[in-house]
Structure 1
Amino acid sequence: MMEVFGFDLGPIIPFILIGFAAQMVDGALGMAFGVITNTLMVGLLGVPPALASQRVHLVECFTTATSGISHLLHGNIDKGLFFRLLVPGVIGGLLGTYLITSIDGDTIKPFVLIYLAGIGVWLLIRGLLYPPRVRQARHVAPLGLVGGFLDAAGGGGWGPVVTSNLLVQGAEPRKVVGTVNSVEFFLTLTISASFIYHLGISHIAGATLGLIIGGIAAAPFGAMAAKHFSPKLMLVLVGIALSVTSAYGIWTAWG
């Protein structure tokens, strides 16, 4: 047993490691905390998809709040883009939460993992083709709706889906990252509240604490990594990691 101030850390060590690894990638890449965390919990630890998504979004309430404030102070938020993403994103998040809490976890698990594997392949392709062809950003509201829905139903994906799409369409990278991260705070807050309504909160404290500890511990290292690894390399590495991990989870679920 590993105790700190009388609290047994043993059961939450896997979640601390997951939070640390996911935040390392997210800090260096600016996306994928939710996708990586959810993939490892569902695919490797066998956590039910709805419970994994709930844990991810509760943790992201802390990480996205910090990120949003930082981007606001640095002037990285496009107000017009913010509101065009906010409302459809929240609506999509509520719909995704309703879906994942209304379906049996064992039934939906393989499909969640297929979605996560798809995100991994998309990031891998985007990394191999980086930098993307510059185009004008369009269809922002539908993108927010889909991104919010997939984020809640899949336990992550707002950043990879929305940020990547806007960047590929040619939007200003600094404004895209800042705006998408700021909207994500309100999205995760809404999704977390919806999950608490459907699932309660008493049974997740330990695992959620582990993810928060790991995420906070990794934050400075992720920022350092961002200075040394190119976006192309990180996209490729994350794409490979997500694809392989999700494929293993699919094989386990249907094997």
Structure 2
Amino acid sequence: MPGPEVLLYGLPLAFLAGFIDAVAGGGGTITLPTLFFMGLSPAQVVATNKLLAIFGSGSATYQFWRKGNVERALVLRLIPLALAGAALGAYLVHFVDPDSFRTLVGVVILLVGALVLVNKRFGTEDRYPGLTARTLALTLPGAFVIGMYDGFLGPGTGTFAMFMFALAGFNLVKSGGNARTLNFATNLGAFLFFLIGGQMVWWLGLPMGAANALGATLGARMAMLRGSGFVKAVYAVIVLLVAMRLFFVR
């Protein structure tokens, strides 16, 4: 078990992860390696990461929600499907080869990033048509699949969710608000599951969670202040980081 000195780098990295995650998703690409580096077991890493993630995603959700950047009628319909998908994903871990799946997802997220960057208008304007049949046909199964991915593997869940909401017609700021809200629900569900297992390292997760929440608050406010162009630039960087983690970290 590590000593308290690991917080000297754990706290600033948790803050950075919260900031990045609130803007474009992908905060887990920072917090998971950080917890591994501290010497925790894999089970402790996953459980403790969910503990601090509910602070960050909850803080970001609050900021986006209070400023009207969450489409509540839609997101509240998607949360049950995302939770059901996450439960199925956690179950499928025992039957599917994670390495092959990780490589496939790495390719997919690079294609997603390329589509976002090549289409200069993608995510820059809010064209959400409301709760139409097309919107529900895209987001209902999409939320289930994203939840399943979160339960199975995890890295880049928020990034994929942002892409889904942008496809539905939201600009990237509102896509981020919707994605953070959806991600908070799946993080909370996973937190309750891991709480039963007793693997959380509370003395690490709580202070790092507070730092993560501070970073997420700043990131959410920055995204709303700077707009979709800023979010798109950060999104491109996060796509690369998530893809690199999926390809090269086993």
Same fold (TM over 0.5): yes
Q: Would the aligned equivalents of 1:49 and 1:154 in 2 still touch at CA under 8 Å? A: no
- Percent identity over the alignment is 18
Structure 1: runs of 5+ lacking an equivalent: 1-6
Secondary structure at the aligned position of 1:132 is classed as coil
Q: Would the aligned equivalents of 1:64 and 1:181 in 2 still touch at CA under 8 Å? A: yes
Q: Would the aligned equivalents of 2:21 and 2:27 in 1 still touch at CA under 8 Å? A: yes
Counterpart mapping for 1:78-97 below 5 A: 78-97=71-90
Is it true that 1:98 corresponds to 2:91 in the alignment?
yes
Equivalent residue number for residue 215 of structure 1:
212
Cα deviation per residue 1:190-235 (whole Å; 9 max; x = unaligned)? 11111223x323x522442453254245346535764567233212
Equivalent residue number for residue 53 of structure 1:
46
Equivalent residue number for residue 240 of structure 1:
240
Equivalent residue number for residue 114 of structure 1:
103
Paired letter, 1:16 = L
Post-superposition offset of 1:237: 1.7
Equivalent residue number for residue 5 of structure 2:
10
Paired letter, 1:54 = A
Paired letter, 1:184 = N
C-alpha distance in structure 2 between counterparts of 1:193 and 1:12, whole Å? 24
Q: Are residues 103 and 212 of structure 1, via their aligned partners in 2, closer, same or farther at CA, if it must alter by over 3 Å?
A: farther
The match for 2:17 among 12, 16, 22 is 22
Q: Are residues 149 and 38 of structure 1, via their aligned partners in 2, closer, same or farther at CA, if it must alter by over 3 Å?
A: farther
Paired letter, 2:28 = G
C-alpha distance in structure 2 between counterparts of 1:58 and 1:174, whole Å? 25
Q: Would the aligned equivalents of 1:96 and 1:151 in 2 still touch at CA under 8 Å? A: yes
Paired letter, 1:215 = N
Equivalent residue number for residue 122 of structure 2:
132
C-alpha distance in structure 2 between counterparts of 1:213 and 1:116, whole Å? 30
Total equivalences in the alignment: 236
Q: Are residues 18 and 127 of structure 1, via their aligned partners in 2, closer, same or farther at CA, if it must alter by over 3 Å?
A: farther
Equivalent residue number for residue 67 of structure 1:
60
The match for 1:200 among 193, 198, 201 is 198
Q: Would the aligned equivalents of 2:147 and 2:186 in 1 still touch at CA under 8 Å? A: yes
Secondary structure at the aligned position of 1:117 is classed as helix
Paired letter, 2:11 = I
C-alpha distance in structure 2 between counterparts of 1:190 and 1:141, whole Å? 18
C-alpha distance in structure 1 between counterparts of 2:105 and 2:162, whole Å? 16
C-alpha distance in structure 1 between counterparts of 2:171 and 2:112, whole Å? 19
Paired letter, 2:18 = Q
Deviates further, 137-146 or 151-160 = 151-160
C-alpha distance in structure 2 between counterparts of 1:122 and 1:150, whole Å? 17
Secondary structure at the aligned position of 2:68 is classed as coil
Equivalent residue number for residue 160 of structure 2:
161
Q: Are residues 177 and 237 of structure 1, via their aligned partners in 2, closer, same or farther at CA, if it must alter by over 3 Å?
A: closer
